[in-house]
Structure formats: C-alpha cells, structure tokens
Structure 1
C-alpha cells in the first residue's frame, strides 16, 4: 500500500550521489581495428575524461590519471583523440597540449609548452596521410576572449608541427580524400554560427603537403530554396571524386552526394532532420554502411538510409533507444555510438541492422535505480501564442511507494535546455529523476529556436531571444496548470546557460512562476556581446537579438539585469567559478541588487567548475540545494537534504 505524503516530500532511493555518478556520459566513439573505443567523463575524478575500449574480457581503461582527454577549442571542445597506427594521440586538459600514448602504454608530450598557459589548443583530431595527425589549432593572441586565430596543422609523431592553411575564422579539421590528393572541411566566419552558413570547402594538396586555394561546394548565404541560407554540418569522402554531406538547402539537414563541380543529389529527401548543430568539432550524424546504405540519425533515432530506393527506415531493434548522440561510427556493417532512452542512460552500444541485434558495450555508471522510480516522458505538443505548436516532454512524478493526498496537484518545473540552438530528448536523466521520484513534475520544452524541427522552427528565435523562448515556456507551463496536471500556484523554471537566461528573463518579465533556478546564465546581454564571452559565441547575439549598435536598446530591454527590480519570485543561482562562456560576473550582477530586496534568494559559486558541472561533489551540492530551494518556495518539506540558507 502506498504511503500518503505531499508532492515533493516523498522519500526516494535516487540520491544526489546516484545522479552525480550517472552524469558522466560516454562520447567520441570510434572503431580502431574493429575494436570500439570511446571517451568517458568521470564525475568521481573531477570530470576527468578517460579513454576506454572494449576487450574480450570487458571494458579496459587505457588512459590513466592524471591525463584528461579534453580540450578548450571553441571552449566547448571537440574530438580529443585519434588512433595513428598502434598509437593514440590525445589532447590533455591541464595544458591543452597533444600527447602520444604508445602501444606499450607509455605516454609522451607531443607538442611544446605554449608561452601562455593553455594558449595553444587542438581539436577534431584526424588521421592524415603518412601517419601524421591533422587538427584544428586554436592560438590565443591577446588578453581579450576574441584574440584568437585558428588554422589547420599537421603534427608528426615526433612532434613536428606544420601549418597547412586556413580558409575561415572557424574550421573543422581537414579530411583527406581516399587518394590523398584533396582535402575537405567546413568553415564559417563571424557573425554567423555553424548552423547558419557553414560552408563545405575542398582544396588540392600540393607536393609539399600544403593546401592550395579552396573551392566552396555547398553552404553559404542565400543559396537555398527561396533564397534562405544553407549550412553543412558534416562531410565525408565517398570516393576520390565525390563527397557525402548533410546540407539543408530545403530547410532540413538531409544527406547529399556532392561532386567536385558542386553538383548535388539528395539521396533520400525527407522533411526531417538527419543532422544538427555543430557545437563541438567532430560530430558525426551519419556513417556509410556500404552498398548504398548509410547509418543516419533520423530526428535522433538510429535509421538506415538506402539510396537505392530513397528510403529511410528506423532500426527496430534500437526502438527503445530514441536518443543518439552525434558520434556514430561503423565497421563491417556494425554501427556503434552513444544511445539513450527513457529508462537507459547514455550508453555505448553496438547495433547490427542486418542481423537485428543490439548490445551494450559500456558499463553502467553508478548504482542503478529500480525502473518504477524512473519517469517515462510523454511527448506532447502545446499551442503557442503565435499559433505554432511547441514540442515538450512531460515527466510526471513517479514513485511506486508514494501517493499524494486527495485533491493535491503536483508542483511542476519547466526545464529549459541550453544553446539556445539545442534540444531536449527523451533520454534518461538521473538528475531529473531525482526530482520526479520525490513528487515534482518536470516538463522539458523545445521552445522556438530548438533544433530537430527544421530551419524554419529554429529561426523562430532569430532576433527574438528573450521573447519567443520566454513565451513558449510560459505557454506550456500555463497549459499544464489549466488542464489540471500541475498546481498553478507551484510552477517553477530551471535552466543553464541559454536556459539560465530564459529562466532569469521569465522570472523578471512574467508572473507565471513561483521559483526559478538559474544556472551559469547570461544576465546582461550588452556585456556578454561586448567582449565578455568567448570567441565562438562572441557574435551569436547578432542573430538571436540583432546586430549592435543599431539594436542596443533591444539588448537593454531584454536583459534580466534591467528588470531585477521586477523580479516576481525567489531565485537560486548556481555558477562555475572558471566559466569562460558565461563568466561569474553575469550571475553576480543579478545577485548583488537582491541584497535587502526582501526576495528570497541564494547564490552558490563552485570552484574548479567551468560551463556546466562535472565534479560529483558539485552535482550533489547543487541538486540538494535546488531541492531544498523548491521545498522552501513551493511549500513542502523534502526529507534528507540540508536546508539551503536563503537571503532576503
């Protein structure tokens, strides 16, 4: 028989420690001589990224501490390792240098110590011809966050580095054609982001190894159907004369065959996304399987594209894993990657589409919760104020041991994803389950501007950040309250990064919410866009808000810092002390005016954390603080967590 307790006050076996242990997801999978290799973040080791591989006796870690295979290119990083012969080359977080791991396990520095600490960075490591590593190199040239230059470089296993060239301010690593005579890469320039206009570039390789003048085969301003912009998000060589690329000339990233003369053919036209936003260099949404078949991610699900009949069919055996990361790799018809589902945390899996088999490769992280405590989301569409449907995943409270008193409605928290050019998926999040298993509902909103729904939906946010996102989240929250799913007096909002901005804007510019958790946010748009943030996003707000200086007042009007005096609910701010993307000054500018305001608030800044929390102790502290915050502001007493001191 269920125990009766108020929503939010339920006991749960899902502890903050369990959620923290599950938070380090695998990434950057690849086959190395038919062996699956991947990178893995370890929250128990401060977020260190190690390298793992599958063996006949289980999973082997082959990158020991203190090495940390992570890099700061674009601050979000990119593919940090590559196999060259029987050796591995990887980027190391502490100094950002390249290191060589030999087959005997010994590790040696490959690139020199830069004059500025972490001032020379490498990412998107690729095996080049002749046993060298090709990479994007990012060099810090001055004190400002935008004092950065990037180029293509080749590094030998003796550590010799050679500049190959550069076409744009932002680049992906070059990829050699099968015959080694040409290279292909993607490039774009300020003020664009890669999902706006990234171009496919091809150049010949000279006798001296340097790249000749490049040609643009796809992507750019005004070259799509109806004159809209076109972006390429991934390219692979198919033959010496043709390439395969994900391009969106019709508003959806589809798979095209592109010739060296720029002619292109859509292999399977579909009004669905097969690609996504290039936040990290080295993403792979498709990989060839052979015989005209390709493994693709169709709206996040694993599918097989067969160009012989133009079909795209979901892989049925992977139906319970609807959320795949952009890290596909293939070998002899086998597909490997990182996949997740409502009851499966992100896991390295191997799928054979022909045989209809799937197996888990990586090992579970941390203690596993019983299925009954894990929320299974319902994908829904809500009516937006502009008539556009708003996709969202609704996670109701889930705990088989408890029920609420008759007539009580649960508190609901709107979860706002970051980006804002990003999306939420139905992947299991133990951090969300930490709340839902205690009786707090979650609704994760893919507001206008989210990816996965085509360029037109994505560009609903063009020059409308702080308007469309705020309105969409409020519309979803208010709809849940109106239909009797959520308590209208106990609606809250939470988000990090761009989601933190939307949370702060919602708390200051709407009256929908009774509480807001704001994590590593943008608070002052003007300072953010005027040299405070890093180079990759330095001009992001040109498209999200409008170019400066002509739209300066718009920046002021939409900045939460402008409206602190109108704050309508208690707030909790969580921040990483070493965040170079949304620096602590942003959050602190919001907290300082609240002193003496009478509004309950708290601010926690965590040493050793950058943009997003990677350390187990930080994740535990932040989850427990957030739960206590909701208890104090939404009217329940959560058992077993320290009381968060709230200032007024």
Structure 2
C-alpha cells in the first residue's frame, strides 16, 4: 500500500461504510477494493469515503481529476478536471469541499478551497470559492456536523484555523504560530474535530510542536505530552486524539492522547530506548545571519571543540525535526558535533520567512549555514579545518553550492542532490516543477568550474526526483579536477535511502570521508 500521487503521495486508504478498506497499490498506483480495481492510466491518492462510493484524486501527465469510484466494480466517474492540482476532498450531507492550486504554483504559496452542492452518484454543482488566492495558502478543508467548514490559511502570515459559516469566515484562536505543515503530501490532518465542538490541533514554533485543544469559548488548552515533534496525521478516536509523536530521546511512536484534562497517554506502538543514555540531546541555539535570527539544533559531541557537520534540511520548504535522529547519533557517538540549520525559507516561522528563499536558492541558505558554522567556530564549539556541510535532496544542493565558495567548510557531502535547479524545472515531478522555477535564479546551477572544495556524492540510480545523470556528470568533471572524494552510486535505490543497507553504506562512506580529511590535516580522530 502506498500512493505516488503528486510524487510524494497522500492518504492511500479509506474505510468504507461497509467495513471494507480501499487502498492504493504502491506498484500500480491503482485503487483496490477486494477484487475490484480501477485499472486506468492514472496514479490515485487522497482516498475518502463518500456514502457508498469512494472519493479520490487521480493524476496523469495532463493534470488532476476529482473522481468517485464504485467499490463493487472499480469503475470511476469524473467530477472535476484541472491541468493543475486537487487535494483533500471531503463530503458531508450534500456538500463537497476540496483544495486546488494552479500548475505553476506550489500549494504552500497559493491554493484555494472550494465548496459545491453534491449528491453522491450525481454531478457537482457550481463551485463557490471559500478562501485562498495568489498570496494565500488555504488547505485542509473539513466539514463540521453543523454544516460549517473548517480550514487552515496563512492569510495572517501564519497558518491558522478558520471557520466558514453562512458565507462568513471567522478566525479560530488566532496566534503567531504555524498550525499546518507545508503540504508536501495530500491528505494531511493537522487538526481534528472532537465531540462537544472542541478541536485538537498542532501548533508549531520553529522546529517544536505542541498539541492543543481549542475550546468552544475560544480558549486553548495545551496537552502535556512527551513529544516535541508531531506528524500531520491526527485522527479523532472518540474524545481522544491518535497521533505519531517523537522527541530527542523518544523514537517515533503511535499514541492515543486523552483530552479530558488527565493528559493520559497510551502508547499503541513504539520502540522505546532505555532512558536515552548516550543520546546526544540538541541544544536550541539562536544565531544571527544577515539581519535575521536563525534557529539551530546543535548536537554536542563527547568533547569540545570537535569536528562539526552542518546540515541544511531537505525541502527546502521544510524544517529541522526536533526528534531522535539516528543519523545524527551515528556521528555524535563518534565524536562529531552536528548542527541542523533552519535557514531562510524554512517552515515553522511564518509566510514571510518561508518565502525569503524565493529567487535566492543557493545564496541565502548557504549564507545562513556559513554564518552558523562561523558562530560555532568563534565560540569554540567547532574545530578549525574540520567543518563539513552535508545535506540530502535540496540540502544536498545547498551543500554543493557551499562547496563553490570560500568559507569555513572543508568538504561537502551531497546525497540525492539537485545539481541544476533550472534544468530541474523540466526533470522534476510535475508537482515540483513550479518549486524549481520559484526558487531558482539565472546562476543557480552547480558547475564543475565553480567548485572549490572536495565533494562526496551519494546517489541512487533510480532517483525519480533528482536525476542520477546530473550527479554522475558532475562527479566525472570533479574527478578530473581532483575535487571528487568519491561517487557512491546505489543500485536499485530511489530518492530516499529508506532501505537499511543503502543508508548504512551512505553513512559509512560519509564517515570515511570525514576521517580521511582529519588524518590528512594531522588532526586527532574523534573517539
């Protein structure tokens, strides 16, 4: 089971009133219910129950369709068509809501929520625009029992919750915090509607999440949880909330949280570690860069100063996760310090900060990572001549761009990296091509002649997000210039190194490269 809708997937299953479960087959992209299957040339996702039928979004090279599927036969009926994108269909009674955005924008920049009359099995009425526009991201529509519609919008500069009722929109508990995740996947649920007109919702400040309950009178009650990271997959189970949570000392676990004031937590599935002994817990640092304040998760090693690995996160429209990261622990347990940087363009800091990287990818993110490294050097927390930058996907691009400049970085490690954002406009998945166009500039490409620092490249040969040929072409040119540390090409591996063997090979190659630099500089290897 798994959906490839819009490249990153979303909501690959739904439970029908009959008790049957409809799923998306990960290999074919088709909806399967019992022995019935859709069997069309599309990729399906965003499944939801709608009476006796299934409501979902499907995609092909020409655009998206909002469709219903007959669970008995697998036959489909098209409700809406666009050359852009649909997501988050939701029905209640004879009303349908959904999100859409144009083919040349990203949903976190510009998206709209629509509603229309709809009788299951019949046509869709004339759509009415509820919220969203060129400078507003409106996402996650959800019908309430009273016929009103809730949704999240960043119209105030922060993704907050709103309610649409009788044609009027009201803010629900406005706050200077993000209550939505950037919609990389369809079907996110950052809030749930609870009995008694209460609402459970995630609240994000930088890398840290909370879960709060919004009361009918407008007040909010934070829940006392051991989690600092909460996935955008909330679900209501009666008056309890099901979630996936984690912290720097707790791996991700599925839990049920009481909202009756007891804060009772029942872990449904998890793999706890014994007291967190030996785990490096991050210190949250604030570092100035180009007139703005950055948030940095600094993982101290066993002794300071130490070799430092600066890590720009992937995305780049994302953030560093304040949760247990075994890749970080792999290096801190071997004497390295690690700094995860929420550079300009990160989520969790409002719309203006999120949009700051537009047209400046490979500039502002590199400047911010460099300033963090120089701050840690100046404060005696990093070892000179042993400062590295390492990133994956968009973070890999940042690492490559950093290797094109003078500065504190001795070497760059780029995993599954984007090499040329302007070429990526044509090679990226349909969903992400506008992302490249919005972020890039005329001089965004990493060219071999620009590179000034040694580079280790790690790439899967089945990467359908960042073409492997771009990495191998760069590797060949860097080898001729004696700037290639190595090119680890992983057979049968895609954009994400999810298989344990592939990840282990990547980490060992990265560690070997760092240790070779330290030996060459005559520096003591970490214990």
* CA apart distance, 1:600: 4.1
Task: Report the secondary structure of 2:391's partner residue.
Answer: strand
Alignment counterpart, residue 270 of structure 1, candidates 168, 175, 191 = 175
Structure 1 CA distance, aligned partners of 2:475 and 2:318? 27
Aligned to 1:94: 27
Do 2:212 and 2:223's aligned partners in 1 also have CA atoms closer than 8 Å? yes
Alignment counterpart, residue 378 of structure 1, candidates 240, 265, 283 = 283
Structure 2 CA distance, aligned partners of 1:532 and 1:600? 25
Do 2:191 and 2:200's aligned partners in 1 also have CA atoms closer than 8 Å? yes
Structure 2 CA distance, aligned partners of 1:231 and 1:532? 25
Task: Report the secondary structure of 1:197's partner residue.
Answer: coil
Correspondence 1:351 to 2:266: no
* CA apart distance, 1:436: 0.7
Aligned to 1:81: 13
Aligned to 1:291: 196
Structure 1 CA distance, aligned partners of 2:121 and 2:220? 43
Query: What are the residue-to-residue correspondences of 1:435-584 with 2, within 5 Å?
Result: 435-529=331-425, 531-545=426-440, 554-555=441-442, 557-561=443-447, 564-584=448-468
Task: Report the secondary structure of 1:470's partner residue.
Answer: helix
Correspondence 1:255 to 2:161: yes
Aligned to 1:164: 79
> Kindly tell me: are residues 566 and 454 of structure 1, through their superposed partners in 2, closer, same or farther at Cα, counting changes over 3 Å?
same
Do 1:124 and 1:136's aligned partners in 2 also have CA atoms closer than 8 Å? yes
Task: Report the secondary structure of 1:540's partner residue.
Answer: helix
Do 1:482 and 1:488's aligned partners in 2 also have CA atoms closer than 8 Å? no
TM-align CA RMSD: 2.0
Aligned to 1:213: 126
Task: Report the secondary structure of 2:404's partner residue.
Answer: helix
Do 1:287 and 1:330's aligned partners in 2 also have CA atoms closer than 8 Å? yes
> What whole-Å deviation, never above 9, does each CA across 1:389-447 have from its counterpart, x for those lacking one?
0111101115xxxxx5xxx6201111111111100121101111111111111100110
- Structure 1 window deviating more from structure 2 (462-471 vs 320-329): it is 462-471
Do 1:511 and 1:568's aligned partners in 2 also have CA atoms closer than 8 Å? no
* CA apart distance, 1:208: 4.9
* CA apart distance, 1:544: 1.4
Aligned to 1:279: 184
Structure 2 CA distance, aligned partners of 1:638 and 1:372? 23
> What whole-Å deviation, never above 9, does each CA across 1:582-626 have from its counterpart, x for those lacking one?
111221232121122122421112222222111111111111111
> What whole-Å deviation, never above 9, does each CA across 1:100-120 have from its counterpart, x for those lacking one?
25xxxxxx35222x5xxxx42
* CA apart distance, 1:457: 0.9
Between structures 1 and 2, the one with greater strand share? 2
Structure 1 CA distance, aligned partners of 2:508 and 2:216? 54
Structure 1 CA distance, aligned partners of 2:159 and 2:120? 36
Aligned to 1:323: 229
Alignment counterpart, residue 63 of structure 2, candidates 127, 149, 156 = 149
Structure 2 CA distance, aligned partners of 1:328 and 1:206? 28
Taking structure 1 as the reference length, what is the TM-score of the superposition?
Answer: 0.77
Query: What are the residue-to-residue correspondences of 1:216-235 with 2, within 5 Å?
Result: 216-221=129-134, 229-235=135-141
Structure 1 CA distance, aligned partners of 2:488 and 2:166? 54
* CA apart distance, 1:264: 0.8
Higher RCO, 1 or 2 (CA under 8 Å, sep at least 6)?
A: 1
* CA apart distance, 1:168: 5.9
Correspondence 1:338 to 2:259: no
Point out where structure 1 has 5 or more consecutive residues left out of the alignment.
1-68, 102-107, 140-146, 222-228, 399-403, 546-553, 641-648
Do 1:627 and 1:638's aligned partners in 2 also have CA atoms closer than 8 Å? no
Aligned to 2:481: 597
Structure 1 CA distance, aligned partners of 2:419 and 2:126? 42
Count matched residues.
518
Alignment counterpart, residue 111 of structure 1, candidates 33, 38, 48 = 38
Task: Report the secondary structure of 1:536's partner residue.
Answer: helix
Correspondence 1:127 to 2:49: yes
Do 2:109 and 2:136's aligned partners in 1 also have CA atoms closer than 8 Å? yes
Structure 1 CA distance, aligned partners of 2:83 and 2:55? 17
Alignment counterpart, residue 360 of structure 1, candidates 267, 273, 276 = 267
> Kindly tell me: are residues 370 and 570 of structure 1, through their superposed partners in 2, closer, same or farther at Cα, counting changes over 3 Å?
farther
* CA apart distance, 1:199: 0.4
Task: Report the secondary structure of 2:183's partner residue.
Answer: coil
> What whole-Å deviation, never above 9, does each CA across 1:136-178 have from its counterpart, x for those lacking one?
1112xxxxxxx3321011112221211121356111142102x
Point out where structure 2 has 5 or more consecutive residues left out of the alignment.
none
* CA apart distance, 1:206: 4.8
Structure 2 CA distance, aligned partners of 1:436 and 1:447? 22
Aligned to 1:185: 98
